[in-house]
Amino acid sequence: MGDKREELLRQLWTAQDEAYDLMCEYDSLPHHYGENILYQAEGHIIDLIAAYPGITITDLGNILKKTPSACSQIVRKLKEKGWVEQTRNRDNNRQFNLKLTESGRKVYEDHLEFNRYCQAETFGLLAGFSNEELEHHVMVQRKINEAYQGDVRRSRERFLKAEASQNE
């Protein structure tokens, strides 16, 4: 591998690490949506409940790749804030379906508006790049995502293997 290429790949790696750190920091901060304050995890759940009225906590966990317990804790907070209602499923007494309250719908709309604003800001920063440059970046990002998927798969396999060894 040439020195220039290796340096470019290292810069890409560093930029990905920086992006990850910034996303983690952003997700950990409370955000103002209209008159309300919520965290990204709460916003994601509100978005999903708005998109799929009647969704269950188990479904949320599957979509978000979180445990039902983690989703349940967030839903409990959203219920306490008066943004989400939970009703027993008529067909399956053990399940509860979720929907937004009127105030929850307002939070969702404010969250959606803020996301549109952030997207417009980002798109503005990228305005100087050609379509071809953006297409190349998308292709590179997809390859990086493949690498991440492989890392996740290998980590899960190692974890399950280690767990199985401990149980023997």
**What is the pLDDT at residue 33?**
85
Q: Which amino acid is at 121?
A: E
95 has pLDDT over 80: yes
**Cα–Cα distance, 98 to 46 (Å, whole number):** 10
Among candidates 99, 118, 134, 103, which has minimal Cα distance to 40? 118
The architecture (CATH level 2) of 29-128 comes to Orthogonal Bundle (1.10)
Instruction: Please give the mean pLDDT across all residues of the chain.
Output: 93
pLDDT tier at 41, thresholds 50, 70, 90: very high
**What is the pLDDT at residue 9?**
93
Residue 36 forms beta bridges with which residues? 33
**What is the pLDDT at residue 122?**
96
**Cα–Cα distance, 31 to 142 (Å, whole number):** 29
Burial of 86 (0-12, 13-18, 19+ CB in 10 A): middle
pLDDT tier at 35, thresholds 50, 70, 90: confident
